[in-house]
Structure 1
């Protein structure tokens, strides 16, 4: 039976990062342990409009009382951090790679509507380069689920990768005609700006030294910023209910210049953000 932990206030992300550092110490975690069978819940979460406006600006959305499809992910992030830095979590938070994200928007959400958030982790499994698992978040109103998100994280333990390249990863490489495109100039400040509005202050996004410690020559953009920026580029064309699923490929170094392209597919779009290599590939599909 899943144990439910109900929080009366938002857990501090700063304290979670402190626990994450302690989790790197020898013997801090049980190697090979199972994921905790716990759901963290916070009810009646009210959107701070100044925070929403800041998020909209950083990610390129128009200022509006309607929540971007990626915004509830930010609201749920502190709950996910609480789970992933708990003493019984089997993998250290620092070093995890966000490799994929799927969001389902059931209906438009207004900043006026309090949300009940719930987060749990599931499906710890092997991967050619290590182990991966899912963080599952939901937002509900009056008991009805209105939004859900699944973030897949990978703990790399091997340099070998058997994962094949995706067909069409270059944006229209399958012979289709791209439905418009745009060049994004991604400034160096994106890492710090998105960290401030998302709470994701992983040093690989905000510090040259922190990035180098994990094998990057400099800071890289957050994958969820890239996804949000892609959705912002489709604003005004998105249906009221849809699913957007992406895979995070190569990181975007900061600063950078990348190209965003869409390709019509099954009543929605295929998405690509790429430079010399793809950074993000994905789809937007209208809900049935």
Structure 2
């Protein structure tokens, strides 16, 4: 069943969708146990399992469930989450695909004409055979979302996919909503912990630029922990710089400190963050230089 299901589709997303169906037994979610069983089958197909395989499987499953920072359920993962994860972490994706290499080379490629460009080819990968293609061209190609340097240095893509930064930045209301998965697959957002994030390798869909701000002298005793602007200007131990935008914004009636420490309510934090990293233009509102380079380097007083 595994062999037949993986060799039939040509498109990568079809393969991953079939893997999801196999793992989930045609349900709308997968649990840890089913993923582990699938990976065990892959290892058995490749070679006789050894003592290190159990740890490897556990590590892969943990990475998969930790990958989506919006996934509040640590026991199951749905199809959309699974596919996005496979697109954004190619190394993790390959752990589910090893059987495809030998199958394609021994069956599909026999009836194909060899491409004269081989692994340097950037198109028609389904029409011609390409030696060692797996190790040079990413199978996701233009649909790949893995922006890690390690992946980009090792695999080629016919068109480079680069996520654009969300224009709303840390104020984005979609990022943490039920529609966040699709939105976050297309747009980058600043990590709430910035340069102090401990999960950078799992959060390539977030940016981790240094804010270069001072630590608040009151730290945990600070009375402004509910102020999103203050939080973005000063660091506080074990607390993120940025708060999550509350879906109700200014209409929110929840005045509890716990809520206000975690959520922002319409404060424009983006302006503060961007201006912290710029110099003040001496001409202020009278400046006539509208070039992109100037605007990136300087902010302009409105007074």
Q: TM-score, normalised by structure 2?
A: 0.21
Does 1 or 2 have the higher relative contact order (CA < 8 Å, sep 6+)? 1
Of the two, which has the highest radius of gyration?
A: 2
Q: TM-score, normalised by structure 1?
A: 0.22
